[in-house]
Structure 1
Amino acid sequence: MHKSAALASTPLFHTNSTFLSSHDRVALSYDRTRAIGALHALSAQDILTVSPKYWEYLRDPIHVMDGAAATLLTIHLNLCIGTIAMFPEGKEQLLKRLLAFELSGQYCLTEVGHGLDAYHLETTATLLPTGELEINTPNEAAAKYMPPTTPAGLPGIAVVFARLLVNGQDRGVKPVLVPLHDGRKMHPGVISKLLSPRGGSGPVDHALTYFRHVRVPGSSLLGSLEKGADPKGTFAHNIFRVVVGTLGMGTVALSMMRIASYIATKYSMRRIVVDSFTGKPKPIMAFSTQKTPVLTAIAQTLVMDAYCTKVHQLWSTGGSSLQQHFVAAVWKATIVPHSLSILSSLGDRCGAQGLFEVNQISMMHADVRGASIAEGDTLGISIRFAIELILGKVTPAPYLNPGSLLSRHEQQWLSELRSIVKGSKTHRSNAIESSILPRCQELLQAVGHRIAVDAAVELGVDPAVVDLYVASVVKQDSAWYSENLGLTQEKQRRMERDAVDALYPKLESLLEKLAIADYVNAPIVSDEAWVSHVRELPVFQSGKAAVEDSVQSRL
């Protein structure tokens, strides 16, 4: 059981926010943010080192109950506090206030005109003769994009990445602490423009942020005034918390998979239809079109759960920051497509009910789309680290079974792409770009699928679960397995059917292994929850007609 189970059952997390105003929903998310932070009581050292305590926090499913709160926590703890903790000298009191949630911490890296090309950002931090730094946004393209910098009750401060200018010399991109507001009024020279809401997600007060010649003390600079011998390397070091965020996005996606699998299973077991063949009532779960995607989702979730345990081990023993980033990139490139597929598929399998916010799946789908982009765009990091892997600069986890289907798939993919690069004068040519880049994410997924199965086998996951997982990923590259291993489509379909048949009798025990019921508030999981939900809905009626006290429904 997760330590947040009791908190998840409180009114704070079971308030139906769908009828609240956007302003009130944002306020509720901030309250939930502080409650989750207080529960885990992380230290700066926990955050800095990705300690077991911090890993437990990342894996907490309570984040999924409010995607907006999860976003706020990620920015506050990982990005803001995590970056300051890398340069702690003289910042101890500030860290203490941030950890106590007396301040709201933000992180301003990405600019609207530069996106992933953050190294070429244009915001400047100019050293003045007084020793102060002047932070300035030179044009519209340099506006900081996304961080929620509008006043929201608590005083706000941000880690702002800016190009340090000393006597006209560009010293590289550096992090600087800049006050944003006192909780009600913006700091002089700081302008925040509230963006329109993201579609389908819980509302966060995302904004565009501009700095108009904002002066801060020289001590606000995190790090040295000197230009690093390797400016790009220094920049990569300074934004390393984004890499840790890549890990966190994957753990959130895993929690979404667990919750969606539970909801769809419970709904499918209680939703009854009349079987046209027998004329008798039958749960929709009994049909292959329902049990196959639901059981596949559960199998992928349980295997990814084992992989998640392996990821922390690989991260902790990774050694170099490049290897750690590779571990995080493979993890995210593997789990995000699984979660997107599961949330889309299971949402469809819940019919019209799957479209409504209150049933959680549609909102989680929107949230995982955001997670796919945040803290390292999935495609972007896949391209970078597939190239690093092809060039031999990073190393995947050792093979547990080199002769397995997924191991052979990974080995041949890597061998084929390496031969393409070897036959070219440079891996940056146009020919390489068109041959390699479109396949980078698939390469990292092939690596991740194999590591996930190895981890599941090592941790003793039910072999039938592993078999269904393997069958599900074989389908993703069906032609390769048919052409290279003689695994025809009929054999592939039989693999899936056999695994589903083996798992279906274990459905109840599989639900228990998800260990997620405390975090589910979707009313479609039971008749009792549905009746309670209907009773709370706004009522429109004529005259004084009584509303029935109970609603018997299988909807």
Structure 2
Amino acid sequence: MTDPDLPKLFEDPVFDDRAADPAQPWTTTYRRVAHLGARTGSAWPLLAGGPADRQRLRDLLELTAMADPAAFHVLFLHQCMATGAALDFGADPEDVAALASGRAVGAALMTEVGTGNSSAAVRTEAVYDPVAREFVLTTPDAAAAKYPPNVGMPGLPRLAVVGARLLVSGVDRGTCLFLVPLHDGDGASGVTVTPRPRTSLLPLDYAAVRFDGVRVPYRRWLADGASVSASGEFHDPLGDPRLRTARSVGWARFAWGAVTAGLAAAARAAVAIALPHAGRRNTVDRWGVGAAALTRPNQQRLLFGAAARALAATEFARGLTDTAWRTAPGGGRGAGLPPRTMGRLALAKAAVDGLADEAVARCRAACGAAGFFSENRLVDYQALTAAFHAAGGDNQLILLDAAWRMATGDDYTPPPAGAPAAAGASGAAAAAEPDWPLLLAARERALYARLTSALAAAAADGRDPSAAWHERTGLAEEFAYAHQARVTVEAVAARWRRPGPSGGEGEQAVLPDLFRLLAVEAVLPHADWYAARGLLSGAAAEALDADLTAACRRLLPHAESVTGLMEVPAAVVRGPLGGRDYVRDLTS
């Protein structure tokens, strides 16, 4: 962390879970967000500042995800989604200042209950009134209600970014964004906020929102360079409603920059809790032999594998924040990011969520029944990773979209051929470690060839392209996962693969084996595939499981160093499992 004072913010009594209202825990969540905002806020958003400000914002989001995933959820929507849209699409400075000061809590209302995660298909309408020079916001039917934003708490001033179809002179101009106050203490006129029942995981004030003739001033249209003249003439520099819709939907990138940071941080916090706990927890095996849990190979594979995933997720997240949070100079006339970059960011979001979710799940499994209870944090971290399977873009749809772009577009080149001779075949090769990225690339290339050949054959037969694609989504998803696995291993190879000093402490002593765990676990499920194609000898394929055990055995003396790599301040993570005497803390 660049600012050593940030972790101290989480020592405040407001973060004591015993003070939370069990019926409406989100009241405590919003107090925590207000506490953080009061001590880190400024006259202008951190998102709009220079590298130091953005680093501070990322650090704050990471720490909040570790301390309280629900508070992180509110904070990133406010600081990144609402504020990002306001900055990038040209909001009135007064509204930007209201968000920066915390006078209003930002919210994001795009998806609708009848169209799931399809933000490009919103049906909420914003009809331009040339006489009043306002926009009239209307929900045409129940299926177009915004669902499920966390805006149900009454009396809390909210400034929401709302996606709606802009109609000027009866012509659909594409999806645009508008700033709409939802609560002014008594409720905004024409806005119906229907709170939904309390949910068990990531509990917040979720609601369904409908608009009935809500008047939005012209200045609260996030016009992004578009305009309607006094005579009613519409102008959009993008020139096409489809491009305008894509630009508005591209607002999701502000979430990706924040969410990846928070998910990776939650995964690191889970490891920082579970790994030391396994070193303290006593176990007895079927022969009555007692030992610390971490001395058991199954626990080592769970937890060191979780550590490798958490660190890989962090590498991804910290590498994309600056790109995802980029705003147009001055705001309001941006073209957004190129489609290729947006696709890369979306795929990184899915990758980070998958890595973080698996890391947290392993930590929960290692902790047994204790991993189920919120007081030990792990299940709350799992709630966050599970929520973002769909939130911020559905991971499966992101993978399928990536597969489609790679199979049919011109912005992807499959990994080059030329995998090494079968590792473990004979002589020097028998002692050599496989080239893991090349092995993963070989499988990705083979799946790409299968998918493109199948689509080409369907096209040659005159098959309907839509039907041909949907019949092969299983293969497409498998290809996308293979691509993701290869990119993940490549992303960490340069820094992790360097051999460390024998027996040394710190990251150089552990990163090579953490890399090995990540790579072997990516290859192991498909060992037979590699062996059948001569890319691994039969002996090498069979030895992969033993390789994992050996890597874990080498990491065991360095467990404390692995925990240190998680960068989790003790002041931020609370709960019995994180303490030295968990028996006392769980029973007193």
Q: TM-score, normalized by length of structure 1?
A: 0.86
Identity among equivalent pairs (%) = 24
Distance 2:164 2:216 in 1: 13
Q: Which residue of 2 aligns with 1:29?
A: 29
Specify whether residues 102 and 327 from structure 1 end up closer, same or farther in structure 2 by C-alpha distance, changes over 3 A only: same
Q: Would you say 1:175 and 2:177 are equivalent positions?
A: yes
Q: Which residue of 1 aligns with 2:122?
A: 121
Q: Which residue of 1 aligns with 2:440?
A: 406
**1:110 partner SS:** coil
Q: Would you say 1:468 and 2:517 are equivalent positions?
A: yes
CA contact (8 A) 1:157 1:180 kept: yes
**1:239 partner SS:** helix
Q: Which residue of 2 aligns with 1:99?
A: 100
Q: CA RMSD for the aligned pairs?
A: 3.0
Q: Which residue of 2 aligns with 1:542?
A: none
Q: Which amino acid aligns with 1:503?
A: L
Distance 1:273 1:219 in 2: 64
Aligned residue runs from structure 1 range 239-388, under 5 A = 239-275=249-285, 277=287, 281-312=290-321, 320-388=337-405
Q: Which residue of 2 aligns with 1:431?
A: 468
The structure 1 residue matched to 2:15, chosen from 13, 16, 26, is 13
The structure 2 residue matched to 1:87, chosen from 89, 92, 116, is 89
Distance 1:314 1:419 in 2: 34
The structure 2 residue matched to 1:501, chosen from 514, 536, 553, is 553
CA contact (8 A) 1:244 1:328 kept: no
CA shift, 1:141, in A, is 0.6
Distance 1:40 1:455 in 2: 33
- 1:474-493: CA deviations, max 9, x gaps? 23444433433235552221
**1:323 partner SS:** helix
CA shift, 1:135, in A, is 1.0
Structure 1, 335-344 or 294-303: larger mean CA deviation: 335-344
Distance 2:16 2:436 in 1: 47
Q: TM-score, normalized by length of structure 2?
A: 0.82
Distance 2:319 2:464 in 1: 31
Q: Which amino acid aligns with 2:550?
A: D
CA shift, 1:267, in A, is 1.8
- 1:234-281: CA deviations, max 9, x gaps? 11112322123123322222112111112221221111134554x553
**Count of residue pairs the alignment pairs up:** 527
CA shift, 1:7, in A, is 1.6
Specify whether residues 466 and 42 from structure 1 end up closer, same or farther in structure 2 by C-alpha distance, changes over 3 A only: farther
- 1:481-507: CA deviations, max 9, x gaps? 343323555222122122222222221
Specify whether residues 136 and 316 from structure 1 end up closer, same or farther in structure 2 by C-alpha distance, changes over 3 A only: closer
Q: Would you say 1:453 and 2:489 are equivalent positions?
A: yes
Aligned residue runs from structure 1 range 155-234, under 5 A = 155-182=157-184, 184-201=185-202, 203-223=203-223, 224=226, 225=228, 226=234, 229-234=239-244
Distance 1:467 1:452 in 2: 13
Q: Which amino acid aligns with 2:565?
A: K
Q: Which residue of 2 aligns with 1:480?
A: 529
Q: Which amino acid aligns with 1:469?
A: L
Distance 1:415 1:313 in 2: 34
CA shift, 1:447, in A, is 2.8
Specify whether residues 310 and 107 from structure 1 end up closer, same or farther in structure 2 by C-alpha distance, changes over 3 A only: closer
Q: Which amino acid aligns with 2:276?
A: K
Distance 1:237 1:77 in 2: 20
Distance 1:50 1:385 in 2: 32
Specify whether residues 87 and 316 from structure 1 end up closer, same or farther in structure 2 by C-alpha distance, changes over 3 A only: closer
CA contact (8 A) 1:103 1:157 kept: yes
CA contact (8 A) 1:197 1:204 kept: yes
Specify whether residues 479 and 12 from structure 1 end up closer, same or farther in structure 2 by C-alpha distance, changes over 3 A only: farther
Distance 2:101 2:364 in 1: 38
CA shift, 1:387, in A, is 1.1
CA shift, 1:216, in A, is 2.3
**Unpaired runs of 5+ in structure 1?**
536-555
Distance 1:214 1:450 in 2: 49
CA shift, 1:140, in A, is 0.6
CA contact (8 A) 1:111 1:141 kept: yes
Q: Which residue of 1 aligns with 2:581?
A: 528
CA shift, 1:55, in A, is 5.1
CA contact (8 A) 2:150 2:207 kept: yes
CA contact (8 A) 1:333 1:441 kept: no
CA contact (8 A) 1:193 1:207 kept: yes
Distance 2:55 2:485 in 1: 22
Specify whether residues 311 and 212 from structure 1 end up closer, same or farther in structure 2 by C-alpha distance, changes over 3 A only: closer
CA contact (8 A) 2:47 2:57 kept: no
Q: Which residue of 1 aligns with 2:450?
A: 416
**2:388 partner SS:** helix
**Unpaired runs of 5+ in structure 2?**
229-233, 327-335, 420-434, 498-510
